């Protein structure tokens, strides 16, 4: 049959798509960060207006100076590195464990019988309440901090995996079976890829959760890390140090979430959503 559907190339101009003007691009770029810029300007303006003492509200510029000096002394790298390390290790354990438990629950009645009540009761619970128990059992070092992160972040992964696998269209599975796929191939080549969008959504919930719990655990358990450093600063009435911590946490959180959404777009290149223009 002739290639009636193939595009001919004299439509090159059409294929290029509308080119947004430079002014439009700049305006759009500015609009997207407007609220953040407004907040920054308001902070700096308020701090300099004299309405607050520098102790209550240090100016943003002085906070940035502080971050800079921490960066030079190496303190920033240690604290950020430790927090991100704990959050990411906790996240990765939650990812692997959550997907495994979700898969097991979807395939095995005994696993489902065992885990289902735990997930139902555990998911809505504030898991940070287990912190005293974790401290009793595991102390206050990395193992304890990562444990409490996993206890929190694993639930959205389990729930997303379970729902994702259950909602895989039966015709996709039949189709693969028809072409001779065995149980293992079915799981790895069909069920998990089909479930990927929803599993990734679960992971996108688990990642910021890991970061939040990492900081909170550090605040409550002490030691190095962004949360610990903020508590120390607070104890020593070092308000610039406290605000520096907030700015650092905001930036680290943003970078992590952005990285995750880039990863999602990469992985789901085949998905309908990848065909639509970006909004974020």
Partner 1 sequence: MSSQPQIAIDKVAHVYRPPRGRPVLALEEISLQVQQREFVALLGPSGCGKSTLLYLIGGFLPVEKGSITVNGEPVKAPGPDRGIVFQHFALFPWKTVRDNILYGLERKTMPRAEREEQAQHFIDLVGLGGFEDSYPSQLSGGMKQRTALARTLAFDPSILLMDEPFGALDAQTRHLMQAELLSIWQRTPKTVIFVTHDVQEAVYLADRVAVMSARPGRIKTIVDTKFDKKDAGIFKSKGFVEKVDELWNLVRDEAIKAERRAP
Backbone torsion region of residue 224, taken as left when φ is above 0, otherwise alpha when ψ lies between -120 and 50, otherwise beta: beta
Residue placing its CB nearer to partner 1 in the complex, 6 or 136 = 6
Q: Which of 14, 56, 109, 169 binds partner 1 (CB under 8 A)?
A: 169
Q: How far is the CB of 88 from partner 1 (least distance, A)?
A: 26
The CA-atom distances, in angstroms, between 26 and each of 31, 38, 89, 254, 280 are: 8, 17, 38, 22, 15
**175 near partner 1 (CB under 8 A):** yes
CA–CA separation, 247 and 161 (whole Å): 33
Q: How far is the CB of 177 from partner 1 (least distance, A)?
A: 4
Taking CB under 8 A as the criterion, the residue among 21, 35, 49, 275 binding partner 1 is 275
- Complete DSSP assignment for 168-190: S-HHHHHHHHHTT--HHHIIIII
Give CA–CA dist 66/205, Å, rounded. Answer: 32
Judged by CB under 8 A, does residue 48 bind partner 1? no
| Contact criterion met (CB below 8 Å) for 154 and 163 | no
What residues contact 79, with CB distance under 8 A and at least 6 apart? Answer: 70, 224, 225, 226, 228, 229, 248
Cα R_g (the chain), whole angstroms: 24
Q: Which of 42, 269 has the CB closer to partner 1?
A: 269
* Number of residues forming the site for partner 1 (CB under 8 A): 29
* Contacting range for partner 1; rule: CB under 8 A; set: 12-20, 155-163, 191-199, 250-258: 191-199
223 contributes a contact to partner 1 by CB under 8 A: no
179 binds partner 1 (CB under 8 A): yes
Check if the beta carbon of residue 54 is closer than 8 Å to that of residue 226. Answer: no
By CB under 8 A, the residues from 97 to 136 that bind partner 1 are: none
Residue with Cβ nearer partner 1 (180 or 277): 180
Sign of CA dihedral 200, 248, 88, 101: negative
Is the Cβ of residue 186 or residue 220 nearer to partner 1 in the bound state? 186
**183 contacts partner 1 (rule: CB under 8 A):** no
Query: By C-beta, is 117 or 180 nearer to partner 1?
Result: 180
The residues binding partner 1 (CB under 8 A) are: 1-7, 169-172, 174-181, 189-190, 193-194, 196, 269-272, 275
């Amino acid at each position: 049959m002739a290639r009636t559907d193939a595009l001919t190339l004299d439509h090159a101009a059409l294929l290029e798509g509308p080119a947004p003007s430079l002014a439009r691009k700049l305006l759009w770029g500015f609009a997207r960060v407007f609220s953040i810029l407004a907040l920054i300007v308001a902070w700096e303006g308020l701090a300099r207006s004299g309405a607050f003492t520098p102790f209550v509200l240090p100016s943003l510029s002085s906070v940035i100076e502080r971050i800079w000096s921490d960066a030079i002394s190496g303190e920033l790298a240690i604290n950020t590195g430790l927090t991100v390390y704990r959050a990411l290790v906790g996240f990765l354990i939650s990812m692997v464990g959550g997907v495994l438990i979700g898969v097991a629950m979807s395939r095995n009645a005994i696993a489902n019988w065992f885990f289902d009540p735990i997930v139902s009761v555990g998911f809505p619970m504030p898991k940070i309440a287990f912190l005293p128990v974790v401290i009793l059992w595991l102390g206050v070092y990395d193992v304890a901090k990562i444990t409490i992160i996993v206890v929190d972040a694993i639930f959205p992964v389990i729930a997303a995996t379970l729902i994702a696998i259950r909602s895989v269209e039966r015709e996709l599975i039949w189709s693969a079976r028809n072409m001779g796929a065995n149980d293992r191939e079915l799981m790895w080549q069909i069920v998990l890829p089909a479930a990927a969008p929803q599993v990734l959504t679960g992971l996108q919930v688990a990642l910021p959760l890991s970061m939040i719990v990492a900081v909170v655990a550090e605040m409550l358990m002490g030691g190095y890390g962004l949360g610990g450093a903020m508590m120390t600063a607070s104890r020593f009435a070092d308000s610039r140090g406290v605000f520096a911590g907030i700015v650092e946490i905001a930036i680290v959180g943003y970078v992590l979430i952005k990285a995750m959404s880039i990863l999602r777009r990469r992985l789901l290149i085949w998905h309908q959503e990848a065909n639509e223009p970006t909004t974020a």
